[in-house]
Amino acid sequence: GQQLNQSPQSMFIQEGEDVSMNCTSSSIFNTWLWYKQEPGEGPVLLIALYKAGELTSNGRLTAQFGITRKDSFLNISASIPSDVGIYFCADLNAGNMLTFGGGTRLMVKP
Amino acid sequence: ETGVTQSPTHLIKTRGQQVTLRCSSQSGHNTVSWYQQALGQGPQFIFQYYREEENGRGNFPPRFSGLQFPNYSSELNVNALELDDSALYLCASHRTGGTEAFFGQGTRLTVV
């Protein structure tokens, strides 16, 4: 089956720094979704991307759907302590079933 | 808060036992999906229910089964529990054709 590879696996940054993480796929995607999961909670959708080349922002978050349709990146600008969590990329297939990557764990030092 | 509630929040079971996990979907959402999230990994799709019928299944054995009720709530049943079944089980609900799935907080199952 298709695989989603996220990198880096973890990041430990200083508050105020910008963050970049990415996700690559072994196959072409029609949808890229970025989720955040905090301890004790389920994943929450941050950004959804539907077209190759699409660049979408949600506050301090920006994500892009790669031109090859096999990758996507998520940037967080001016990180704050509440950005701590695990960030997942995911594909949504025609049956509304999600395939998740392994996640990037973000830790922010105040 | 997403409106999707799961119970119980934590559960400890012995290998070989059976377990039932419950999920109440968000109002107006007729599709429910279940995911298994092992420690340090992303969620893995188990199956999906739409109008009380299984509507898709991931790579999980038949001892993982489910139900959806007329009010769209759902149950996940796991028979003959194995140690590797220890994980966070997530329920997600969404409208048919909708792209956003709303997740509950999960049930942490530990098999000893």
Is the pLDDT assigned to residue A89 strictly greater than 70? yes
Assess contact for A77 and A18: CB atoms under 8 A.
yes
State how far the Cα of B85 lies from the Cα of B37, in Å rounded to an integer.
Answer: 10
Give B88→chain A minimum CA distance, Å. 9
Chain A interface, mutation test: which of B4, B10, B23, B35, most A Cβ atoms within 10 Å? B35
Span A40-54, pLDDT tens digits? 899 999 999 999 999
- What are the angstrom distances between the C-alpha of B37 and each of A16, A44, A68, A103, A105? 31, 15, 29, 11, 15
Please tell me the distance from the alpha carbon of residue A102 to that of residue A38, in angstroms, as a whole number.
15
Q: How confident is the model at residue A92 (pLDDT cuts 50, 70, 90)?
A: confident
Contacts of A103 in chain B (CB under 8 A): 41-42
Q: How far is CA B97 from CA A94, A104, B50, B93, in A?
A: 9, 28, 11, 12
Under an 8 A CB cutoff, do B96 and A96 touch?
Answer: yes
Which residues partner with B46 through β-bridges? none
Average per-residue pLDDT for chain A? 93
CB-CB: which of A42, A99, A102 is closest to B45? A99
| d(C-alpha B94, C-alpha B28), whole Å | 8
